[in-house]
Amino acid sequence: MSQLAETYACVPSTERGRGILISGSPKSNAILYTNGRSVIILNLDKPLDVAVYAEHAYPATVARFSPNGEWIASADVSGAVRIWGTHNDFVLKKEFKVLSGRIDDLQWSPDGMRIVACGEGKGKSFVRAFMWDSGTNVGEFDGHSRRVLSCAFKPTRPFRIVTCGEDFLGQTNGLMSALADLYHVLHLGPIAEDGLSISRAPAWLCRACPMILLKDHSNFVNCVRFSPDGSKFLSVSSDKKGIFYDGKSGEKIGELASEDGHKGTIYAVSWSPDGKQVLTASADKSAKVWDVTEDGNGRVKRTLTCPGSGGIDDMLVGCLWQNDYLVVVSLGGTISIFSASELDKAPLSLSGHMKNVASLSVLKSNPKVILSSSYDGLIVKWIKGIGYSGKLQRKENSQIKCFAAVEEEIITSGFDNKVWRVPVNGDQCGDADSVDIGSQPKDLSLALHSPELALVSTDSGVVILRGTKPVSTINLGFAVTASAISPDGSEAIVGGQDGKLHIYSITGDTLTEDAVLEKHRGAVTVIRYSPDVSMFASGDANREAIIWDRASREVKLKNMLYHTARINCLAWSPDSSSVATGSLDTCVIIYDIDKPASSRTTIKGAHLGGVYGLAFTDEHSVVSSGEDACVRVWRLTPQ
Amino acid sequence: MASSLSCLLKLSLVADQANAASGMAVHDDCKLKFLELKAKRTYRFIVYKIEEKQKQVVVEKLGEPAQSYEDFTASLPADECRYAVYDFDFVTEENCQKSRIFFIAWSPDTARVRSKMIYASSKDRFKRELDGIQVELQATDPTEIGLDVIKSRAS
């Protein structure tokens, strides 16, 4: 039996040049954001408490809680909106296809009966408002000609909807945006709450939708939000300005002061719960807290910067004021949480992966530390029980395809021909040493007892490295897909495209072939020695894993065929008594060496998209990572 | 006397002609043993094999009622095709003792292609001889005849 113990969540997926929208719960301190096809619910009080909703078929863009906190509406790039329950296992209420293109923002009406969604429609509708339970259209929105980036519902009467976007109206000096303000139908209907008056009167509702265009910005308007009491709304734009408007009439009443203002595009804005302050996040790598004065202007109260590496990854693309927490998200995916009451305190930084976590490593000396790496070159250190502990900053951020770690050293290879060895002390990486081995490395392994010896396999052969010197390059004559070197460096096993395992003994700098084992019926994808070196296990692309005895080279456990897709990774438990395999079919299966393969523990749906990294931290805990950019720790209870 | 003899002859001729697809005859013992399993419950399982030289399906192994599911899976060879009949006893949610007769077409991936073809083309004809099969299962590797698979198909 297995149970999820901890989840180290992924961070919101970000894109250069666009802001992201995160939203908070009206009832608790949970925030919602999206990564890939998942919607993540993160509890700000307990960042290890993460729930993931993974039912979208397309990458999700924005998610929002309903005003009563019971439902969440989430939207994706195909224009579909899914409404599901917060409790009860995320039961789906309804799914609607709302727009024909990507949905950029979504808002519930204050009574929770209507939803307005805006985004990119193909020429026709850019904004649509509909009833939350039936999907019937409520109101026509005209006037936009380009992508609508944000929309907002006025929370009090008289109701309004404000939308903003990328429109440009062909003015002579190239003015590029418009702000459309609509009188919402609720205002005109006699009784709005029962909703019936709306459906009874579809004819006049279209005609009676006067719209006001506000053209005060000179660049894309990225975000628009009403104050909690509905008296004003603030729009922020790529022209570095923020403008306050009256909530009822739409007249401009003031701006965010330009002295000490932002020096870059402002991507997002959020009001404080009392409506007296606003938080803005900008590409100039700072977030500012503004005091809203009586005359509708804003004055900077505080500038917040997040500690960062200083590159473009520090640009801030999203923000949220959730009760006492100020949450700011950077382009690199770091979520910084400031306290609203103590603005001087250093923020809590949470980070994680944004992309597929392709490998995992647990250090033998300290099994509580887990290192995970993703192909974009990010290496993150996690501590079991605490969560995010830091990123390993490397001097050159090349992409990582293969990754191996021992006590004080990391060896990585990317998509070029180089293999890098980086010494690590604490969180800092020293100067890396690289060696060009002539062709792209396919697989990498270190002899654990003598880590300066490394075996790198390439398309047609292997290279033995001592330190960073290639001591020999051997062309083996067959297409190599996986390799492993024994911890003492005396033996190497190379697996080929045809499923054959070749065992070589290493003497000095040469390899002599000892045996060829033929049992796999697909290309070998992973080979691992057991910690006590008496056995080794191999997995192939035909979803089968086999455990062999090292000395006799006989099959020890077979029929491990319970996966339904290729096996991506394999890990041994520290006492060599069980083996875990992770596959593209999103499952992790743990087999006991002494029992037949049919008595296995299966963890279904461990990672949406496939499991790519696996490691054991102790006898009863398995850590897995996958395509959904999350790292999960599972506790196994013996049956 | 003569008429009954000619009747028997005609029956066997019909049997041979009917199997024109693969040319495999069915030995009488197959059906007899199956009826004994069904009515008198004298066996837990029966494993059938196609003898290519005699062009017949014959009974290869019989399992005692006391034998378990593991004994049955152990009696299926890993590299050759077989047909099998298994009498599976289980208890339903309402605490009723029930039994289901399974027909298993065992065709492992590692068997020879010719063998798989012969077994596949003779299967329908053979199944028709065994009247009273409740569930059919096709298995291509040991994971597909796992006990959990049988349990889920039984209800």
Chain B neighbors of A562, CB-CB under 8 A: 143
Q: 3-state secondary structure string, A462-489?
A: EEEEECCEEEEEEECCCCEEEEEECCCC
Q: Is A559 on the interface with B (CB under 8 A)?
A: yes
**Chain B nearest CA to A534, separation (Å):** 26
Q: Is B149 on the interface with A (CB under 8 A)?
A: no
Collect all residues with Cβ–Cβ distance below 8 Å to A37 and sequence separation of at least 6.
A54, A56, A57, A58, A59, A60, A76, A608, A609, A628
Distance of alpha carbon A503 from alpha carbon A512, whole angstroms: 8
Which candidate from B110, B143, B147 shows the least CB-CB separation from A562?
B143
pLDDT of residue A188: 17
Collect all residues with Cβ–Cβ distance below 8 Å to B124 and sequence separation of at least 6.
none
The CATH number for B2-154, chosen from 3.40.20.10, 3.40.50.80, 3.40.50.300, 3.30.70.240, is 3.40.20.10
Q: Is A602 on the interface with B (CB under 8 A)?
A: no
Instruction: Indicate which of B143, B145, B148, B149 best probes the interface with A, i.e. most A CBs within 10 Å of its own CB.
Output: B143
ipTM above 0.85, yes or no: no
**Minimum CA–CA partner of B78 in chain A:** A559
pTM for this prediction:
0.83
Q: Are B143 and A521 an interchain contact pair (Cβ–Cβ within 8 Å)?
A: no
pLDDT of residue B3: 60
CB-based contact A549:A535 (threshold 8 Å) = yes
Distance of alpha carbon A76 from alpha carbon A57, whole angstroms: 8
DSSP letters along A434-456, please?
EEE-SS---EEEE-TTSTTEEEE
Chain A neighbors of B147, CB-CB under 8 A: 598
Q: Is A521 on the interface with B (CB under 8 A)?
A: yes
Domain residue extents for chain B: 2-154
Banded pLDDT at A114 (limits 50, 70, 90): confident
pLDDT in tens, B77-128: 989 999 999 999 888 888 888 889 999 999 998 899 999 999 999 998 888 8
Q: Are B146 and A521 an interchain contact pair (Cβ–Cβ within 8 Å)?
A: no
Instruction: Indicate which of A561, A563, A591, A601 best probes the interface with B, i.e. most B CBs within 10 Å of its own CB.
Output: A561
Question: H-type helices in A474-624, by residue range?
Answer: none
Distance of alpha carbon A327 from alpha carbon A337, whole angstroms: 5
* Neighbour-count burial of A513, counting CB atoms closer than 10 A to its CB (0-12 exposed, 13-18 middle, 19+ buried): exposed
Q: Are B142 and A521 an interchain contact pair (Cβ–Cβ within 8 Å)?
A: no
Chain B neighbors of A521, CB-CB under 8 A: 109-110
Q: Strand, coil or helix: what is B32? A: helix
Chain A neighbors of B143, CB-CB under 8 A: 559, 561-562, 597-598
Q: Are B109 and A521 an interchain contact pair (Cβ–Cβ within 8 Å)?
A: yes
Q: Where is pLDDT greater, at B139 or A188?
A: B139
Over range A47-52, report the average pLDDT. Answer: 86
Residue type at A379 in one-letter notation: I
pLDDT in tens, A247-302: 887 788 888 877 788 888 899 999 998 888 899 999 888 888 988 888 778 888 88
Chain B neighbors of A518, CB-CB under 8 A: none
pLDDT in tens, A455-495: 888 888 888 888 878 888 888 888 899 999 998 888 999 99
* Domains (range + CATH), chain A: 19-269+286-311 (2.130.10.10)
CB-based contact A287:A280 (threshold 8 Å) = yes
Q: Are B141 and A598 an interchain contact pair (Cβ–Cβ within 8 Å)?
A: no
